[in-house]
Structure 1
Amino acid sequence: MHFVDDARFAKRELSSPQRHTALENLVRTYLATLDDLGIETWLMHRALLGWWWGKHVLPSDLDLSVQVSEPAIFFLAAYYNMSTFSSKSADTSHRRRYLLELSPYAKDREHRDWSNAADARWIDTESGLSIDVYAVRYNLTHPGGEGMLSCKDGSEIKDTYLFPLRNTTFEGVPAKIPYRYEELLVIEYGADALKEIGHNDYHFDHDDMRWVLKEKLPANAEGSQKTVNHVGAGEL
């Protein structure tokens, strides 16, 4: 089972726009806080795909995954487990509190908690939404040979695909992404995921660089272009 809303803090059901806004604030505060702590973290999986498409959280996402190094998760476990951080929302003057919670098995290389593989979670204590934080660890016995990294979410990656990390922005704040980000996205989601501008009920708006509901588009906008080249990075 993969938890989306933390039942300890989810006091009411949020509408889709409310969830999306809360998730935007969640990732901004996570990235800014870890930067303040001197911890290197980077976008992966759906967060990285959202970065590709305009450097924003995808509208259909309910949570996000990010990664840190093994030494970083050790440092967070030693000094910041169950720490709370306060931040003012970008859209209002309201301040939200966020909890950094480490798994009891964060320092273990083995996957022991089958209900949730994350090594840590960054939790919005108002909505219960969270970001899953995974440590990548060198796997010295991996059949792929030297330089292979493993993660408790089941992903594996060659260190040359990941490092050196690239500097960029995500949701308006500094962020980092893997060095060979495009190849990783194609491996995980396929080449079409990086080109098709129509997905379910959404269409990519080039002017705003965001996914919008098709019903909100001008009458002839959807058919103007079915695919697009790289729009997410522009300049990193």
Structure 2
Amino acid sequence: MIPSSWTSILLAACAFSTAFASPTSRFQRTKRLTPKYFTEPGGSLALSHYDQRYFKGEISYEEHRDVLRQLIRSYLTTLHEHGVETWLAHGTLLGWWWNGQIMPWDYDLDVQVSNNTMTWLGENMNRTEHTHSFNDVSKTYLLDVNPHHVDLTRGDGMNIIDARWIDTSNGMFIDITAVRERDADMPGTWSCKNKHRYGSQDLWPMRVTEFEGVKARIPYNFEDILRGEYGDKSLVVEEFQGHRWNRDINEWVKMTDDEMKQRREAAEQRKREELEKKGQN
């Protein structure tokens, strides 16, 4: 048994140690992340697709696709005028694959450039504004390059977007990411900070096409890239996010409430039948 006098001393020492160490422990637990350059209103998936500085209110479903269409047209036109190589990526590339248009459930757009191009944009076009007119309405777009675009790794993940093309009237944007050969032991493999990887032969030579009615570039092996990112089903499934593919007009259309109800009931019926078969076996 430890004498009571020693017990008191030990308890006092522990209290002193805890009091002395806790500020450091608290500091370690609350270590600050790298300040995020681009910020969004947040609170919902839709609100994560607006730049906080220009956000005035959520754009309705009926209007947002036209806003995105103007965004991509203005971006592709401007960079083409400056001789800058950029290409469609991720969901935007998938939209091109289906019908050369933005998919109606998308709330932002994705494009890529090489690291050398991003460096050039940062040195020559950062914070420049560009005016474009659509249907006799003029809009101003901002090219904003994240100073963290020079970072080789994703770090704490706060700055994986290297630049944005922003509609200054409402805050909707195009995410621009740079790909580069980041791994010394993987020459010829290009990647962005979000760990999407591509072989040189998958990206170049770029294919020239059209997207939303303007000239656009896409990676050479676009189909392999899409299958690798979204799976084989992404190129054949004709229902997604409350929309169905209409073969008559080659467009995604929003399903009605009755259609959605029928799809749910059909899915529930299939599930019941599968359970019954399992029970019989």
How does the TM-score come out when normalised to structure 2?
0.72
1:125 corresponds to which residue? 168
**Can you list the C-alpha shifts for 1:131-184, whole angstroms capped at 9, x where unaligned?**
111111113424xx3311121122111111111111111000000111111111
Question: Is 1:44 aligned to 2:89, yes or no?
Answer: yes
- Tell me the distance in 2 between the aligned counterparts of 1:36 and 1:66: 17
- The reply on whether 1:175 has 2:220 as its aligned counterpart is no
CA contact (8 A) 2:152 2:182 kept: no
Q: Which blocks of at least 5 consecutive residues in structure 1 are unaligned? A: 223-236
Map Cα deviations across residues 37-78 of structure 1 (whole Å, 9 max, x no partner).
Answer: 110000111011000110111111111111001111111100
For residue 83 of structure 1, report the CA deviation from its aligned partner.
0.3
Deviations 1:9-42 (A, max 9, x none): 1112210121111011101111111101110000
Q: 1:114 to 1:184 in 2, by over 3 A?
A: same
Higher helix fraction (1 or 2): 2
Q: What is the alpha-carbon root mean square deviation over aligned residues?
A: 2.0
> What one-letter code is carried by the residue in structure 1 that aligns with 2:192?
C
Q: Please point out which of 200, 206, 214 is paired with 2:247.
A: 206
Residue 256 of structure 2 aligns with which residue? 215
Taking the TM superposition and a 5 Å limit, the aligned residue runs for 1:100-139 are 100-112=143-155, 114-139=157-182
Q: Could you tell me how far apart the structure 2 residues matched to 1:111 and 1:189 are?
A: 22
Which of the residues 187, 194, 216 maps onto 1:153?
A: 194
Contact 2:93–2:218 (CA<8 Å) still a contact in 1?
yes
Answer with 3-12 or 171-180: which moved more: 3-12
Answer whether contact 2:148 2:159 (CA < 8 A) is retained.
no
State the shift of 1:216 in Å: 9.7
SS at match of 1:28: helix
Matched, 1:97 2:140: yes
Whichever residue aligns with residue 73 of structure 2, its letter is: R
Shift of 1:107: 2.4
Q: AA paired with 2:249? A: D
One of 131, 155, 169 as aligned partner of 1:86: 131
Checking the alignment, whether the CA contact within 8 Å between 1:105 and 1:112 is kept in structure 2 is: no
Instruction: Measure, in 2, the Cα distance between the counterparts of 1:182 and 1:190.
Output: 10
Distance (Å, rounded) in 1 between the aligned partners of 2:98 and 2:107: 17
Residue 72 of structure 1: aligned partner: 117
Tell me, in whole angstroms, the C-alpha distance in 1 between the residues paired with 2:230 and 2:55.
31
Per residue, is there more strand in 1 or in 2? 1
Match of 2:30 in 1: none
Query: What is residue 165 of structure 1 aligned with on the other side?
Result: 206
Change beyond 3 A, Cα 1:212–1:39: same
Residue in 2 that maps onto 1:53: 98
The secondary structure found in structure 2 opposite 1:133 is: strand
2-structure distance, mates of 1:217, 1:57: 25
CA distance in 2, matches of 1:114, 1:140: 18
Partner SS, residue 99 of structure 2: coil
Aligned residues of 1:22 and 1:127 also touching (Cα < 8 A): no
* Equivalent AA in structure 2 for residue 196 of structure 1: V
Aligned to 1:225: none
Contact 2:131 2:138 in 1 (8 A): yes
Structure with higher RCO (Cα < 8 A, 6+ apart) = 1
> Sequence identity of aligned pairs in percent?
37
Q: Using the TM superposition, give the Cα deviation of residue 214 of structure 1 relative to its aligned residue in structure 2, in angstroms.
A: 2.2
Aligned residue identity for 2:71:
L
Q: Give the 4+ runs in structure 1 shifted more than 4 A.
A: none
Partner letter of residue 66 of structure 2? T
One-letter amino acid of the structure 2 residue matched with residue 184 of structure 1: I
Q: Which runs of 5+ in 2 are unaligned?
A: 1-38, 41-47, 264-281
Matched-pair contact (CA < 8 Å) for 2:105–2:241? no
